[in-house]
Chain A
Amino acid sequence: MYFSIEILILFILLSDLLLLASSRILLCIRTLALQGILLSLLPFLIEKEDLELHRLLLGLLALILRGIVFPLMIKRTVLKVGVKREVEPFIGFTASLFLGVLAFVGCFILDDKLALPISADHRFLLPVAFFTIFTGLFLIITRKKALTQVIGYLVLENGISTFGISTLAKDPWFLEVGILLDLLVGVFIMGIIVFHINNEFDHIDSHQLSMLGDWKKGSITNYLNAEREDK
């Protein structure tokens, strides 16, 4: 059993690296699905001795949502919007991968420094959880398509959930259902907004969403010009 946990964690790590390196959104979605399934299996392996019925059902619900429903919802939006690739992110795919590897080392150091009160049995769990959180944030920041940012958000949530598993805190069932429900509605609404962005702007490049804001390029010169026109 111990061995299988390590294998699962290894695969989560690999899925993070794949997400960092891939430009194809559909591949990213499939990777996300894989990651969701792997992570939903983790609690079954960790607390195998006292698995109550409601825990089992919760785990199944998480598995279905994270592994099947969320990816399918994003895929539907992809098909509607017709954007298949992430083009020219702010940090290229090779560079992303390289930074990812560096960050992974950083995650081990962080884990060492934090010295969290967690059993040493699963010593790879925390660094990989941190690394997944990093991957999610990294995708949100460096990718341009709104859809990839949704994927990034879900990866971030996956990472946090992995981190949460490691604490072995036994939350009541309605708390976990609530979190999953929030995520479900969140992905649903994000999908709708991405669709609206596509309708209104004819693209889903979030960095081009710059109609609002008070610091614009040349805002001061524009302002001075407007001042002259006023007079």
Chain B
Amino acid sequence: MNLLVPLLLAPLFSSAIIMILPNKKLGKILFLTTGAIHLTIVFFFWFEKPFPILKGWLELDSLGLLILSLMSLLFFCASIAATNHLAHTTLLRNRDKTGRKVLSEKKTLAVMLLFLESMTLSTLSQHLGLFWIAIEATTLASAPLISYHRHPRSVEATWKYLLICSVGIALAFIGNIFLSLSITDPGSGSTVSLLIRDLAASGRPRDSLFKTAFIFLFVGYGTKIGLSPLHTWLPDAHSEAPAFMSSLLSGALLNGAFLGILRISTIYTAQGESAFIQRIFMLFGLISLLTALVFMIRQKDYKRLLAYSSIEHMGILALGFGLGGRGVYGALLHLLNHSLIKGALFLTAGNILALYGTKKAPKVRFMLQKLPGSSFLWITGFLAITAFPPFGLFFSEFIIAKTALESGRVLVSIIFFLALTLIFIGSAYLFLPMVLGKDGAREPGKKETPLSLAVPLLLLVLSLLLGIYFPAPLAEVVEKAVLYLGGSI
């Protein structure tokens, strides 16, 4: 049997069953099991690639496998965090302690599974129309989870997210139409299907339409990635969502949308337009880097800082892919590490928020005393995300910077180094005071649960391992993905 079928059906069925099940505990078990099954199936794909289904519309290539594995791993972590969170919050008629309504437990679990389903579909789609549907579905499935706490702030964030992303994705649809109009079949002269490989192999496209299509697609999916200046919804949504959801949004969903643009870019590379798209990638990458820099210096809200950091790293990714050559390799490594670290950081931020009840960093002090475990994770995460040497991000940023210098782009490298340094200083200014210091009264805060520490720890350790030791099967898949994207190792 083809394992793609259960991979796609499991979340869908489980989510339906959870809605019907009367017992909450059973629902949670089913939820966790589904996450585990998903992860197991994806693990099997590393040994044996599944056959494409639906006439090649759904196919797992190396790049898809990388991103799907990250997504599945992060979802499994988030599912543990979510059930852990639900087990430690007492709700009375779906209202929390402050009397605010939250999304009911059943709906939370069911919608999260639908989110997993749509993300999985997006990594598998080789057809641009199907990919569009999947990405729009990820927006819709994540929106209810962003307004999990029905606080005015989260409702506001959800509205911005829903409207800005939906309109953005609608623009990507216009891009799809332009693309299908611009490419004609060499034999019959009719339009070809929107399958990536058909588009890449087709005859010479109509030039201006072909380029117009890329701009629409880039702006459309770029909105979903949060490339500046299309990022305005991102800090709001990522900071207002509950921790387990933020980690998925930053760690998994951004990659999913990026995957789309990368697949589209292979069409343009195949048609000999790589210089054109590389310029666009680099431009948006640098703008995102600088925008993130402006908002990260003296940022007071630690979850917003993490969200802006996601914009920064998406900018670095775009820059790496834009540089081409070895930059593609660096960017792929960067993507892997960023997801792991950002997932860990958002989950840790959830622990902090649970104790202090505020997202304002100046109000969070003496963490070392009150949350020793989370303090360790927070500082380690800080070092990891600002690319300190043993962690994987150091190597990926090093490769990207080296590529930029080697290709003679001095200005780009200067901006890159300057932005990274200033962002490091800005982040240190927020992260470090939160942890350090002692207050006189030794009030033992709410206890950290072992699970709430173990999950982020696992992700950070993985990123550390990626920095030190790169296993052979992973290296092989990364190499294939890099070649697919037209880069070199």
Partner of B147, one of A160, A181, A193, A211: A193
Query: Which residues of B in the span 163-189 have a Cβ within 8 Å of any Cβ on A?
Result: 163, 166-167, 170, 173-174, 177, 180-181, 184
Of the listed residues A133, A153, A186, the one surrounded by the most CB atoms of chain B closer than 10 A to its CB is A186
| A160/B159 contact (C-beta < 8 A), A167-B191, A186-B166 known | no
In the complex, which residues 87-127 of chain A have their Cβ closer than 8 Å to any Cβ of chain B? 114, 116-118
Contact residue among B130, B159, B166, B362 (Cβ-Cβ distance under 8 Å from A175): B130
B259 to chain A, nearest CB (A): 18
Residues of A within 8 A of B299 (CB): 214
Closest chain-B Cβ to A75's Cβ sits at a distance in Å of: 20
Q: Name the CB-closest residue of A to B180.
A: A169
- Is the contact region of chain B dominated by helix, strand, or loop, or is it mixed? helix
Contact A137 B167 (CB under 8 A): yes
Answer yes or no: A171 CB below 8 A from chain B CBs.
yes
Let me know if B163 and A196 touch, CB within 8 A.
no
Q: Does A200 belong to the interface (CB within 8 Å)?
A: yes
Q: Could you say which of A114, A193, A209 has the most chain B C-beta atoms within 10 Å of its C-beta?
A: A193
Residues of B within 8 A of A201 (CB): 152, 155
Q: Which of B136-166 contact A (CB under 8 A)?
A: 136-137, 140, 143-144, 147, 150-153, 155-160, 162-163, 166
Which residues of the other chain, A, contact B144 by a CB distance below 8 angstroms?
189, 192
The answer to whether A212 and B157 have CB atoms under 8 Å apart is yes
Partner of A163, one of B133, B155, B174, B239: B174
Q: Are B129 and A200 in contact (CB under 8 A)?
A: no
Q: Of the candidates B130, B140, B163, which one forms a contact with A140 in the assembled complex, judged by CB atoms under 8 Å apart?
A: B163
Contact, CB under 8 Å: B156 / A153: no
Cα distance A179–B295 in the bound complex, in angstroms: 36
Let me know if B304 is at the binding interface, CB within 8 A. Answer: yes
A50: CB under 8 A from chain B? Answer: no
B209 x A114 contact (CB < 8 A) = yes
Interface size class of B (residues with CB under 8 A): 35 or more
B136 CB contacts on chain A under 8 angstroms: 182, 186
A-B pair count, CB < 8 Å, reads 110
In the assembled complex, B312 has its CB within 8 A of some CB on chain A: no
Are A175's CB and B133's CB within 8 A?
Answer: yes
Whether, in the assembled complex, A53 has its beta carbon less than 8 Å from a beta carbon of chain B, the answer is no
Task: Tell whether, in the assembled complex, residue A196 and residue B129 are in contact, meaning their CB atoms are under 8 Å apart.
Answer: no
Encode contact with A along B293-326: 1 for CB under 8 Å, 0 otherwise: 0010011000010000000000000000000000
- Report B-chain residues with C-beta under 8 Å of the C-beta of A77: none
Choose among B137, B167, B295 the residue that contacts A214 (Cβ–Cβ < 8 A): B295
Closest to B192 in A: A169
User: Closest CB-CB distance, B75 to chain A, in whole Å?
Assistant: 20
In this assembly, does B240 line the interface, its C-beta being within 8 Å of a C-beta of chain A? yes
Q: Which of B130, B151, B160, B212 contacts A209 (CB 8 A)?
A: B160
Which residues in chain A, 166-222, are within 8 Å of chain B measured between CB atoms?
167, 169, 171, 175, 178-179, 181-182, 185-186, 189-190, 192-194, 196-197, 199-201, 206, 209-214
In the complex, are the beta carbons of B158 and A193 less than 8 A apart? yes
10 new A-B contacts at CB < 8 Å, known A160-B174, A178-B130: A140-B163, A167-B191, A169-B177, A175-B130, A178-B133, A182-B137, A197-B155, A209-B159, A213-B236, A214-B304
Top 9 nearest A-B pairs by Cβ distance? A178-B133, A200-B152, A209-B156, A212-B236, A182-B136, A196-B155, A175-B129, A185-B140, A200-B155
List 18 A-B residue pairs with CB atoms under 8 Å apart, sorted by A's residue number.
Answer: A116-B181, A117-B184, A117-B206, A160-B173, A160-B174, A163-B177, A167-B177, A171-B129, A175-B129, A175-B133, A181-B133, A182-B140, A186-B136, A189-B144, A193-B147, A200-B151, A200-B155, A212-B156
Q: B interface vs A, CB < 8 Å? A: 127, 129-130, 132-133, 136-137, 140, 143-144, 147, 150-153, 155-160, 162-163, 166-167, 170, 173-174, 177, 180-181, 184, 191, 206, 209, 212, 235-236, 239-240, 295, 298-299, 304, 362
